[in-house]
A and B are shown apart, each in its own frame.
Chain A
């Protein structure tokens, strides 16, 4: 088992973490998986929500349809609906209540998907 300070140290070495707004305090001891956000890989662990995986690596989850401003979810409990994200080849999913799956390809903008 990795303790918290070891986990923090390990994460601080990853440049992708610097871009996220979420700050991981501990890493889940489960299988590592890779997902892709707009083509860039993000390291996650099974059991991570898409919201946590994306927002600990990036500063946005989606773009607001009306003013183009970045959004990063809000309630994390399936109430605000501000975290819907496109999964390639699938419908939109709610990032805070959907768990990561190996190889998942996400897009922050619908236009990339041709939708």
Chain B
């Protein structure tokens, strides 16, 4: 048995949640290990653009963005920060890592573990989404911020997410030639949700301001788009979709797709945390108490546990680290933690509103053409998944659909297709999506190489 009080606290994820957690631990005199897959700190949304690109995007002027990066710089010497380090499994009190894709020979024993693994894009596949020139919405942002590239010269931002509008604006700011926004949620749903979003007034103000600016620039924005398809011979050449009862077509050379975010939950599952279906965000997430405790010695914070945005993530990181400190026997200021929770909860309420304003196109899954590829890795179609789901007897577990169809069995471990496959299978059976349970995580949670043999395992 390791001595939990003398073995370091390990944090996975250097986004706002992980940085917030590290700050609280450092203030209490601890020196946590902070593992992050990325080359630089900041996580997904607060990603720093390479100064050598000379890009000047407004998000980098936001006070919250500056504060997180400044906080990290103050912490850098006081923590054991390990960038480019993937945590690919958690087992028996150790985290197993890989540096630049190569497996480290030994695991890192932890006294306590804080998982701040964030989220990636939640995507509803459409016909043609495997064509070169189609990227996830987050991918379109990463290519811009990290690489100074637009995903085309005439880019359609399709899906439903506040980030659709933000990304479209960032593209315009950076000098992209043409952008169009196609949102699958009707405008009426946005009006209805605005009171909840106003739990954080700044969020509603920012959103409305963004839409007004896009409108002023003459950007086409459609709400309530259905039956989207991407066309092209070997690359994106155009799209078609239904809107207000008619079919529209449009030429374009890049498409970004995003329907919000999906939590990165694999490590939590491997660490023994329970998962529950969150019907508002249409996905399985770790079960935690109000302080982020997810199991014995395991704490969770940020988008990896509940989609809440960067500010909520940092607050949740601080709350989880405070719980960790309290459990280690440190004195914790209860009034301070209560205040952090009050602010976090307001952000959560606002995000719940956003989830209604930018909804997952549930109805669309039943209508997705049979030939549409769902699983990009194994090239499994919606029709194949339907066929298997319909004939399956007994408990309709998605892991059985996976075993029989290979959907979600590839190298991404269902990150891209999993939520959609559950919807397609559930619709084919007339079942509630939650009844199909979730794709089970398997180590390594991402492909890694064993250095001695250079053999890659996935």
Which A residues have a C-beta under 8 Å from some C-beta of B? Answer: 1, 3-4, 8, 21-30, 45, 47-49, 51-52, 55-56, 59-61, 64-67, 69-82, 84, 91-94, 96-97
Contact = CB atoms under 8 A, between A and B. Distances in A.
B456 A91 contact: yes
Interface string B114-154: 00000011000000001111111011101110111111110
A70 B139 contact: no
Given A70-B132, A75-B138, A76-B139, A52 B234 contact: no
B175 A4 contact: yes
24 contacts: A21-B132, A22-B152, A23-B151, A23-B254, A24-B150, A25-B55, A25-B176, A27-B148, A28-B50, A29-B53, A52-B147, A52-B149, A60-B132, A65-B379, A70-B132, A74-B136, A74-B416, A75-B135, A75-B136, A77-B44, A81-B446, A81-B458, A93-B101, A94-B447
Contacts, number: 158
Contacts of B454: 91
A97 B454 CA distance: 18
B54 A4 contact: yes
Contact of A49 (B146, B236, B410): B146
Given A51-B143, A71-B376, A94-B101, 8 more contacts: A23-B149, A24-B148, A52-B146, A74-B139, A75-B136, A76-B139, A80-B416, A81-B412
B64 interface: no
A69 B136 contact: no
B348 to A, nearest CB: 24
Chain A CB within 10 Å, residue with most, of B135, B149, B236, B454: B149
Nearest to A76: B139
Contact of B148 (A25, A77, A94, A97): A25
B235 A21 contact: yes
Contacts of A77: 44, 120, 138-139, 142
B132 A80 contact: no
Contacts of B58: none
A72 B264 CA distance: 23
A73 B376 CA distance: 10
A24 B17 CA distance: 32
> What DSSP secondary structure best describes chain B's contact surface?
loop
B378 A25 contact: no
Interface in B77-129: 101, 120-121
B24 interface: no
A25 B130 contact: no
B148 A26 contact: yes
B411 interface: yes
A44 to B, nearest CB: 10
Interface string B5-37: 000000000000000000000000000000001
Contact of B412 (A3, A65, A79): A79
Contacts of B177: 23
A71 B132 contact: yes
Nearest to A90: B454
Given A59-B234, A76-B138, A81-B410, A28 B148 contact: yes
B347 interface: no
A73 B138 CA distance: 13
A61 B132 contact: yes
A79 B135 CA distance: 12
Contacts of B133: 21, 59, 72
Contacts of B149: 22-25, 52, 55-56
B441 interface: no
B305 to A, nearest CB: 17
Nearest to A22: B149
Contacts of A75: 120-121, 135-136, 138-139, 142, 416
A21 B253 contact: yes
B356 interface: no
Contacts of A51: 143, 147
Contacts of A91: 449, 454, 456
B333 to A, nearest CB: 36
Given A23-B149, A25-B150, A81 B411 contact: yes
A77 to B, nearest CB: 5
B52 A28 contact: yes
Contacts of A49: 146-147
Contacts of B293: none
Contact of A21 (B55, B236, B411): B236
Contacts of A66: 378-379
